Structure formats: C-alpha cells, structure tokens
Structure 1
Amino acid sequence: MSLLPLGYLLLRTTKCYTTRHVPVRNLMSKQLVYQQFGDPLCVVQFREAAIPQLGDLEVLVRMLAAPVNPADINTIQGSHPDLPCLPHVPGDEGVGDIMEIGRKVTYVEPGHRVVLSSRQLGSWRYYGIYNETDVHKVPPNIPLAEASMLTVAPVSAYRLLNDFKQQKLCPGQCIVQNGANSAIGQSVIQICKAMGVNTLNIVANHCGYESVKEHLLSIGATKVYTLEEAEELACCGLSFQRPTLALNCIGGRYEDVMLMLLERCGDMVYYGGAYCLPLNQYMRNDVWFHKFLLSNWDQNTTNVEKEFTYKYIQELIVMGKFRAPMYEPVMLKYYDYALRNTCHCEAFSTLNYVFDFTLI
C-alpha cells in the first residue's frame, strides 16, 4: 500500500480520530507545518494539502483568523511542557466557520461560527478538520480578533484570577502582576476592571514605556510601574493597598518585588515563562505558591466550567468591557514576518500578530 502524502495527513489534528483516505472535494488548504522542533524561522514551512473525507464525528472549518501566541513559539521550539506528535500544524487557537459536518455530528451545523476549544489542534491553515468536541460555538456578533483570541489569553487570565485564592477576589481588592503588557496581562487588567478589582502592573522601562503605560491605563489598569518604581514602592514602606494575589510570568527581580509587595498570607501563581522556575519560598513562608498551565486546565476541567468561562468573556466583549490585545493582522504567506517579530520582539511589547485568512 502506498504512503499518503504528508500534507494530506496534516489536514487532521494530531489526535487519533477515525480517518478516511479518499478526498471528497477538489479543495486544497494552504497551511504551515513543521516536522522537527527548533527555531521557528528554520523549521516552519508553507505547504498545500488536499482535504480528505470527513469522519462521522468530524467537522470541516474554514479558518478566519488565528493568533500567534508565545506558547505556539515555545511548542515549535520544543520547550513547551506539553508537546505534540510530529509532523504538526502549529496554532493553539483560532476562529472559523463550519463548512461541512460528519453524518453523526449533532453539536454544530454548516454556517455556525466556532473557536477551537482544545490545545494544539493546528489553526495556522485555511481549512482544518476537527472533532466536534474540539470546537465551541460563538455568536457571530463577536469581532474576529476577539473571537480568534478568546480561548488562551482571556481564559488564562480568568482562571488565574479565580482558581488560586481560598476566598474569591472581591471588588475593591488588589492584585499585582508582571508582564502586564502581554496578551494575558492585558486580559487580566480588563477582567479585573470589570470585577472592580484594582491592578498594580509592572513592566520594563524600555524605549516606548510611556506609550505602553498609556495603553494599559486606557484599558483599565489602576497603576503601572517600571521594575525600579515597584522596587522603590516596596522598599520605602509607604502606605498603599497591598495586593492579595500576585501573577508571575517572568521571575527574577520581577518575582522578588512582587513578593515584597504582597499582603500577608497572599497567593502567588506561576505561569508562562515562569512556569518551570523554582518557587521562591525562602523569601515569604506565609505565601501560598501555585502553578498554572492552560493545557492542564483544558484536560481536567468539565465542559460546564469551560462553557461558563467562555460565556463570561463573550459577555464582556459584547458589553464593550473587553477588547483584543493590541495586534497586527498578517497574511499566512507572510508567516516569517509574524514569527520573526514574535520570537525577537521586545520582551515588553504590547503588539501581537494574528493570521487573517480573510485578507487577499
């Protein structure tokens, strides 16, 4: 029996669902793919693949937009805690329209708009085949940018704010975070604003700091500090509202200063780039330390909890209380531009990149 071409196999996710070997339509999908882990600028390739026949529980999605997240870069590099089988189509999240469904699919119908609700399904392509359990319906009135970035940054932000304190955050309380200009950081600010929770936000004093600060304040940040300003605040013993929760994605001095600012018996959550760092418990033995990985939450949470989280964020979007982090749309064929700027961007840039499949 002859081997199927690589591009043909990559139209499906890496999960082992039932496959068929006979294409049912004369339709090709342009997509990105990598066959080994390494530098994204070296291992990611632009390819075309024929679209195979759907399995009974599968759906064909015409992708409309898909962001480039730091976690996507880490996965391609092979440094993410949870790695896919190779070869693989990158992209953790995205939004698209249902084009066709398998004969046993009941959750969605052609024409429904959906987002990918599981990780590492491969969204950097014009057409993708997914299991119906891996897509989530969203209202058509949600803008494409917000929909495409619905399931990673805002979901992570909501879970970070709600899953690690013994007592729920209440209006008037305060949290502190580093990496506040990241997509998750911007999401934390907006969700806290909607909750009535104050935010102390620490960013680097790089070139362009004033514009970063202005943007974060415009989306609801209470205070924005450079690392040096936060250290001065922590060391001077000034009277200020101490945060009860610290969100740590960087580590180092940024972690140390947050521990100095944190209220007694507070909580610190490690995520992102700080996920695998050693816990700095020697500085504060009264603090509760936690780690968060979105893929773990995806695998262990219930469908009811997922639905609740997505619905909460969708309602904020519709009410105008949440907007997508700052982004630049990019055509898929210019993927090297988006990958290069994501890999080599200023560590405290507020700009994200989104593959926009509606651009021609």
Structure 2
Amino acid sequence: MASVRLVTLKALHGSTSSLFNLTQSLRPLTQFSTIRAFSATMSPPSTAVVYENQGPPDAVVRVIEVPPVEIKEKDVCVKMLAAPINPSDINRIEGVYPVRPQVPAVGGYEGVGEVHSLGSAVTGLAPGDWVIPSPPSFGTWQTYIVKEQSVWHKIDKSTPMEYAATATVNPLSALRMLEDFGNLKAGDSIVQNGATSIVGQCIIQLAHTRGIHSINIIRDRAGSEEVKEKLKKLGADEVYTESQLEVKNVKSLLTSVPEPAVGYNCVGGNSASLVLKFLRQGGTMVTYGGMSKKPVTVPTSAFIFKDLSLRGFWLQKWMSSDKAMECRNMIDYILGVAREGKLTYEMELVPFNDFHTALDKSLGKLGSQPKQVIKF
C-alpha cells in the first residue's frame, strides 16, 4: 500500500493534529486510525473514499478509516446522509477535469448532511439541521466532514434526501442555462440533445413550469418509444430520435411549437448539428458537454445567413464568480420545486457498504443505470 504524508490528513479533513510533525511523513494512512489528538472538541472518526493518485477510479479508490479531527470555533461537523456519483466526480479521479483537488483526496463534490456538532462561535445552525455544501465542496464521500460554517447552507428537512443530495450540479446547471441565454419567456421554445440525461430532464421540467416549450433529441436505441413517452410525461412537447431528423428540413416537423431561440448541446458531433438546424434566425446554441467526444462543426451558412451564436456553459465557473447568495437562492427554488413533485429524475440509493458496486454502475460496467446516490 502506498504511503501518505501526514500533511495529507489536512487535505482529507480540513485539519490535523499538532502532535506530529513532518519528520514522520512516510507512514501508511491506516496507521493514523489509532491516533487521537488531545482536544476538547473532536469529530467522530470517519469512513472515507480516498484516492492517493489520479487514474481509473475502480483501480485507485479505496475505503479507509480516518481519525477524528479538531472542530475549531467556526467549524461545523456534519454527518453525511447522501452523496451522488457524478460524471465530473469520475473525471476528477481520472485527472481529466479542469479543476480537481490535490491528491490524496476524498471523492465526491455534492451531497446533503445533518449537523452533528458545532464550534463555539457558530450561530444560525443547530444539531439535527440539514445542510448542503454551497457552492459544492470537495470531499463529500465520507461519513463525517468538518468545514467552516461558511461552506454550509441550511435547507428544508422535508426535502427528499436524494434530491437534496443532487440539487447543486445538474438541476442548477439546467436552471442557469434557462435563465442566462436568449432571454426566454413563456411561449418561447428550446431544443436540446441529451434529453434523457438528468440535466436534460431538468431542462424539460423547469422549462415546462415557465411555459417554455421543449424540442428534445434522443439517440436511436431499443425502447426509444417508451423513452419518448417518459419525457412527454415530464412536460416535453416534442421528442425525436436522431434518425427521425435525417430529413432535408427538420423545421417542417414542427407543428404547434415555435422555432426555438436557444439550443442546448451536451453531445457534440452530428447531434449538435441537429440542434443547430432547429434554431431560428439569430438563435444561440449553448454547449455544456461533449459525451460523444466529437467536435462541434458548424456550416458557414449558419453564421452568415442565420446569424447563429455559439456559447459555452460551465457551472463551476459561474459559481466561482461571487455568486454564492444567488446560488443558494436558486438551490432553495429547485428544492421547493422538487418538494412539490414538479422536478423528478431517476436515481438509485445505494448503501455506503456497496460503494464499489455503485462505482461500477457509474462507470457503465453494468449497462445503462440510473444515477447512483450513496446513502451513508
């Protein structure tokens, strides 16, 4: 087993004991499970999913015991309740995501927890409150987390746990893109590929609550008719497979839905070209992903004769631009919609003991699976 420097305990839990110094820097991490610092206020020991090097997640992550850490006066100790495995979590472990923690690190980036204990200077929170890290914060795949109060946002405890755990990345991306591009209003329409993704499903539902029509593109696969019906039940106006759009004029397929002002692309390649074909004069295509790993190609005529605009969206960049309060207000809105039953998407709650099975499902080893949410 690889050795880990003592200083890495700070990266795992935010603080470390002053009883040891860096001359004891090359001890296996498991040796620290018996260490206890002499402090009046300490967190419980934690179980965490750790990776010491970037690489294939199923090869580099392991579940370990992490010793208690000091709870300082402005700190909050949170007992985690649930946290999802997102594609971006996988990419961070692989080392291919633009922003990632220094290794060794605890995995996970969003989730929901319950306040366990508080530092002496913390106000506005009490044990038993539900909180989420907002903006999201590294290291949610562990049973206890100690971070400053400023990290935590108190939420309504009547929120379904799995939605509280997953509101900050995918639904917030959907809401921001609806608000940030095209000045959309009731009666307008949007077009998107990747409509079966959680972001895609959220775009359909959040648009529907605002009176905005949606045209949705899905890939050709077995059971596509059932997928169409499922998306229409969520509020989709039109759903097409990519092969259905192999016509000279895709807009001829539209009957009661106006030409879309904004398109959302998370696939790339031919699928992105189909989004462009639907857009009205002066429309905008927003790219927020590239699942096909193929480039977006645009015919010259789209720029010259249709005056189309191409934009990009990355939620983490938006959240890092002094948007903390706006971010929290939007999360409260999303959670309110979820409590009303107007925002739903398929998830599978998996016990923490079965983390590696959930990871295999998230990596696609077991076929198409719903989003995996770890329940601690």
Asked whether the two chains share a fold, i.e. TM above 0.5, the reply is: yes
Greater shift, 173-182 or 107-116, is seen at 107-116
Distance (whole Å) between structure 2 residues aligned to residue 276 and residue 35 of structure 1: 27
Which string of whole-angstrom CA distances, capped at 9 and with x for unpartnered residues, describes residues 78-133 of structure 1? 11121211111111110010111222223422221011213342111111112222
CA contact (8 A) 1:181 1:350 kept: no
Q: Which amino acid is 1:99 matched to?
A: H
Q: 2:6 aligns with which of 4, 7, 26?
A: 4
Q: 2:242 aligns with which of 195, 215, 227?
A: 227
Instruction: Report 1:337-356 matches (<5 A).
Output: 337-344=357-364, 349=368, 351-356=370-375
Distance (whole Å) between structure 1 residues aligned to residue 43 and residue 151 of structure 2: 25
Change (3 A) 1:281 1:274: farther
Which string of whole-angstrom CA distances, capped at 9 and with x for unpartnered residues, describes residues 251-287 of structure 1? 0011001111111111111113369975544442111
Q: Which residue of 2 aligns with 1:302?
A: 323
Q: Which amino acid is 1:355 matched to?
A: I
Q: Which residue of 2 aligns with 1:247?
A: 264
Q: Which residue of 2 aligns with 1:48?
A: 65
CA contact (8 A) 2:242 2:271 kept: yes
Distance (whole Å) between structure 1 residues aligned to residue 223 and residue 333 of structure 2: 33
CA contact (8 A) 1:60 1:127 kept: yes
3-state SS of paired residue (1:300) = coil
Q: Which residue of 1 aligns with 2:287?
A: 270
Q: Which residue of 1 aligns with 2:48?
A: 31
Distance (whole Å) between structure 2 residues aligned to residue 159 and residue 31 of structure 1: 32
> Could you list the runs of 5+ residues in structure 2 that have no partner in the other structure?
19-36
3-state SS of paired residue (2:71) = coil
TM-score by length of structure 2 reads: 0.85
Q: Which amino acid is 2:166 matched to?
A: M
Distance (whole Å) between structure 2 residues aligned to residue 115 and residue 35 of structure 1: 25
Distance (whole Å) between structure 1 residues aligned to residue 7 and residue 65 of structure 2: 11
Distance (whole Å) between structure 2 residues aligned to residue 104 and residue 9 of structure 1: 21
Change (3 A) 1:311 1:344: same
Distance (whole Å) between structure 1 residues aligned to residue 250 and residue 5 of structure 2: 65
Check if 1:58 corresponds to 2:75.
yes
Change (3 A) 1:128 1:275: farther
Distance (whole Å) between structure 2 residues aligned to residue 296 and residue 190 of structure 1: 24
Instruction: Report 1:36-185 matches (<5 A).
Output: 36-165=53-182, 168-185=183-200
Distance (whole Å) between structure 1 residues aligned to residue 246 and residue 176 of structure 2: 27
Check if 1:320 corresponds to 2:341.
yes
Q: Which residue of 2 aligns with 1:190?
A: 205
**In the TM superposition, what is the alpha-carbon distance from 1:230 to its structure 2 partner?**
2.9
Q: 2:350 aligns with which of 330, 333, 339?
A: 330
3-state SS of paired residue (2:104) = coil
Greater shift, 171-180 or 307-316, is seen at 307-316
3-state SS of paired residue (1:232) = coil
Q: Which amino acid is 2:199 matched to?
A: I
Greater shift, 178-187 or 267-276, is seen at 267-276
Distance (whole Å) between structure 2 residues aligned to residue 301 and residue 209 of structure 1: 42
3-state SS of paired residue (1:201) = strand
3-state SS of paired residue (2:105) = coil
**In the TM superposition, what is the alpha-carbon distance from 1:299 to its structure 2 partner?**
0.7
Sequence identity, in percent? 33
Distance (whole Å) between structure 2 residues aligned to residue 59 and residue 9 of structure 1: 16
**Highest Rg: 1 or 2?**
2
Distance (whole Å) between structure 1 residues aligned to residue 43 and residue 73 of structure 2: 20
Greater shift, 270-279 or 326-335, is seen at 270-279
Change (3 A) 1:65 1:218: same
Instruction: Report 1:281-300 matches (<5 A).
Output: 281-283=298-300, 284-285=302-303, 286-300=307-321
Q: Flag the structure with more relative contact order, 1 or 2, with Cα contacts below 8 A and sequence separation at least 6.
A: 1
Distance (whole Å) between structure 2 residues aligned to residue 107 and residue 298 of structure 1: 23
CA contact (8 A) 1:46 1:333 kept: no
TM-score by length of structure 1 reads: 0.89
CA contact (8 A) 2:192 2:200 kept: yes
The root-mean-square deviation of aligned C-alpha atoms, in Å, is 2.5
CA contact (8 A) 1:90 1:120 kept: no
> Could you list the runs of 5+ residues in structure 1 that have no partner in the other structure?
none
Q: Which amino acid is 2:174 matched to?
A: A
Q: Which residue of 2 aligns with 1:200?
A: 215
CA contact (8 A) 2:268 2:295 kept: no
Check if 1:215 corresponds to 2:215.
no
